[in-house]
Amino acid sequence: TFQKDEYNVLILGLDNAGKTTYLEQTKIKFTKNYQGMNLNKITTTVGLNIGKIDIGHVRLNFWDLGGQEELQSLWDKYFAESHAVIYIVDSSDTERIDESKDAFEKMISNAQLQGVPLLVLANKQDLQECMTVPSVKQVFFETSEKFGGRDCNIMGISALKGEGVREGILWLVESIK
């Protein structure tokens, strides 16, 4: 029988960054006949949301882990089995940008994630007062010499509107393979 290449993708970021909305939007974009939840009724992740999509021969299994401080300590339990990381930033929440960067730096310095492709998504680009993608990039990639030899990229998205979601996944699939 035909077997797909399966990869595990972690979706990380602070609570309220838009992880649950993003995962749901990704399922909507890449699953035929999938209606999805009402995106406006989504509430923050407590625990774990999972999902999978198929793109050609590739299957991506997503793990969206809760971002609250007390849950961040659970992230590294999943690192050993992850093939890629998507890190979601709320570009409209300038008050928590440093907190998000701290969690990000801790995550990328973990040895278990060495060489794993990394996609940073500057979310909520639909909001007028949000940080631009170049300014989010400046914050998160300032110390990019720490990134090691991994593939990394940053893109702007609106998880709520579904803008940029497809492009990010396609980049990730190419980087994982």
- Kindly list the residues in this chain that would bind ligand GDP in the complex (CB under 6 A): 13, 15-21, 42-45, 67, 123-124, 126-127, 158-160
Nearest distance from C-beta of residue 173 to ligand GDP, angstroms? 22
Name which of 82 and 90 has its Cβ closer to ligand GDP.
90
Cβ of 108: how many Cβ atoms within 10 Å?
22
Name which of 27 and 151 has its Cβ closer to ligand GDP.
27
Nearest distance from C-beta of residue 57 to ligand GDP, angstroms? 29
Nearest distance from C-beta of residue 159 to ligand GDP, angstroms? 4
Spatial distance between the Cα atoms of 101 and 19, rounded to a whole number of angstroms? 16
Q: 34-41 long-range contacts, Cβ below 8 Å, gap at least 24?
A: 39/160
Residue 12 burial class via C-beta count within 10 angstroms: exposed 0-12, middle 13-18, buried 19 and up: buried
Spatial distance between the Cα atoms of 147 and 117, rounded to a whole number of angstroms? 10
Nearest distance from C-beta of residue 11 to ligand GDP, angstroms? 8
Name which of 148 and 162 has its Cβ closer to ligand GDP.
162
Instruction: Report which residue type is found at 90.
Output: D
Name which of 29 and 151 has its Cβ closer to ligand GDP.
29
Return left, alpha or beta for 124; rule: phi > 0 is left, psi -120 to 50 is alpha, else beta.
left
Nearest distance from C-beta of residue 157 to ligand GDP, angstroms? 7
Strand intervals (E) in 17-78: 48-55, 58-65
Name which of 76 and 126 has its Cβ closer to ligand GDP.
126
